Amino acid sequence: MGPEPRERAIARLRAAGQRVTANREALVDVLGRAERPLTLPEILRERPDLAQSSAYRNLLALEQAEVVRRVDGVDEFARFELDDGLTDHHHHLICSACGRVEDTAMPGAIETAIAKAAEPPKVDGFGEELTVVVDGIFETNWT
């Protein structure tokens, strides 16, 4: 991850009144290098020096500061990734057989059509973020 997304993540933390700590920066770095949303065990494999309880608490603080976004799959593991405002906008493929979650991009024409078709009602104090989740089964799970 280059310095720009990291700097924006730190700015969001400060704007939310959260402290910038070495553990939070480490989590941002791990998620910034990831090619897909990661579970807590996957994050800890990348950074075994982080305590599980501390990592989870810090992920929640990063989520509240809109630095990290939680991606729920079909299994018992929440996954985490940097918020779209810090990375390229993307959507998710979620395997209903194994729970695997992968990032995917949509062609521009589809993004435009989705945005027009799914325009949410304007409500004061509500900010929308449009994402698409495609449920299916990855070929490795076909039997």
CA distance 50 to 139: 34
pTM: 0.76
Q: What is the pLDDT of residues 101-142, one digit of tens each?
A: 887 877 778 778 777 776 666 666 655 566 666 667 777 877
Question: Is residue 19's pLDDT more than 80?
Answer: yes
Q: What is the pLDDT of residues 94-109, one digit of tens each?
A: 888 887 888 787 777 8
Q: Which of 15-29, 34-48, 112-126 comes out lowest in average pLDDT?
A: 112-126
DSSP 3-state assignment of 62? helix
pLDDT for res 3: 61
pLDDT for res 1: 53
Close Cβ partners of 21 (under 8 Å, ≥ 6 residues apart): 58
Q: What is the mean pLDDT of residues 87-100?
A: 80
E-strand ranges in the chain read 38-39, 68-72, 78-82, 91-95, 101-104, 133-136
pLDDT for res 73: 78
Half-sphere exposure of 18 (CA within 13 A, CB side): 23
pLDDT for res 89: 76
Using alpha carbons only, give the angle 52, 79, 23 rounded to the nearest 5 degrees: 40
Q: In what order do the strands lie in the sheet with 101-104?
A: 101-104, 91-95, 133-136
Close Cβ partners of 141 (under 8 Å, ≥ 6 residues apart): 95, 97, 98
